[in-house]
């Protein structure tokens, strides 16, 4: 009983402490995964960065169309699930357990997020500081304040940054 309580407490802690740094876990549904990939128009050989990759579903969908990806995930349970789910695609998919606000972002053509409204301005600032090349940002559910999306489909907003 004590062991079970400790396990439950640890699981709650993993899902709870993420709230201090970003959005809680809620998976993106298939139509929105498809919409995000189509809007970002990432091509085989290009890279997608997912900030908070959850169970890895977006990364898997990207791999199926030949797109490499990197996913940051703070929740260790989800990071492990994503790592295991994507194990067959290790050449294409990298899972990084950590806080994406505090890590350097790799070079990428596109970024996908499903966060919370209160983080969208911070995201905008961070993308503006991103010093690589033009990047497309797709966000499920939440808009970037003060920016007009280049396109919207199925609740996914596309933003184009020409840095
Ligand atoms: C709303 S869920 C979306 C999950 C996944 N992107 C999807 O669309 O299915 C947000 C995810 O971001 C993760 N997350 C929140 N803040 C984070 C941070 N600062 N660094 C890394 N991951 C974070 C959460 O643990 C959660 O899995």
Query: What would the pLDDT profile of 47-78 be if each residue is shown by its tens digit?
Result: 999 999 999 999 999 999 999 999 999 999 99
Cβ count within 10 A of residue 24: 12
Q: Is 26 in the pocket of ligand 1 (CB under 6 A)?
A: yes
Euclidean distance between CA atoms 135 and 108, whole angstroms: 7
Please choose, from the candidates 8, 76, 78, the residue with its C-alpha nearest in 3D space to the C-alpha of residue 58. 78
**Is 3.40.50.150 the CATH number for 2-161?**
yes
Q: Is 159 in the pocket of ligand 1 (CB under 6 A)?
A: no
Per-residue pLDDT, 26: 96
Euclidean distance between CA atoms 121 and 41, whole angstroms: 24
Give residue 64 CA to ligand 1 midpoint distance, Å: 21
User: Ligand 1 pocket check: which of 27, 32, 52 to mutate, most ligand atoms within 8 Å of Cβ?
Assistant: 52
Whole-prediction pTM = 0.94
Sign, Cα dihedral of 127, 119, 43, 74: positive
Is residue 161 within 8 Å of 133, Cβ to Cβ? no
Euclidean distance between CA atoms 61 and 59, whole angstroms: 5
Query: What would the pLDDT profile of 109-163 be if each residue is shown by its tens digit?
Result: 999 999 999 999 999 999 999 877 799 999 999 999 999 999 999 999 999 998 6
Residue ranges of the domains in the chain? 2-161
User: Ligand 1 pocket check: which of 22, 100, 140 to mutate, most ligand atoms within 8 Å of Cβ?
Assistant: 22
Is residue 25 within 8 Å of 54, Cβ to Cβ? yes
Euclidean distance between CA atoms 161 and 127, whole angstroms: 8
**Using CA positions, which residue lies closest to atom 13 of ligand 1?**
52
Lookup: tokens for 20: 């201090």
Give residue 52 CA to ligand 1 midpoint distance, Å: 3
The minimum-distance atom of ligand 1 relative to the CA of 101 is 19
Please choose, from the candidates 125, 129, 156, the residue with its C-alpha nearest in 3D space to the C-alpha of residue 140. 156
Give residue 113 CA to ligand 1 midpoint distance, Å: 8
């Amino acid at each position: 009983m004590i062991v079970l309580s400790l396990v439950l407490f640890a699981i709650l802690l993993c899902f709870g402490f993420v709230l201090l740094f970003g959005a809680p876990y809620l998976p993106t549904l298939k139509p929105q995964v498809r919409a995000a990939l189509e809007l970002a128009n990432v091509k085989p050989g290009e890279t997608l960065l997912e900030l908070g990759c959850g169970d890895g579903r977006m990364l898997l969908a990207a791999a199926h169309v030949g797109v490499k990806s990197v996913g940051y995930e703070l929740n260790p349970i989800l990071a492990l699930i994503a790592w295991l789910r994507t194990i067959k695609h290790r050449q294409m998919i990298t899972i990084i357990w950590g806080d994406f606000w505090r890590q350097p972002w790799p070079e990428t053509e596109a970024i996908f997020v499903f966060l919370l409204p209160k983080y969208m301005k911070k995201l905008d600032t961070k993308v503006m500081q991103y010093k690589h090349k033009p990047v497309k940002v797709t966000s499920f559910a939440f808009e970037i304040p003060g920016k007009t999306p280049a396109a919207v489909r199925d609740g996914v907003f596309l933003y184009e940054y020409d840095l």
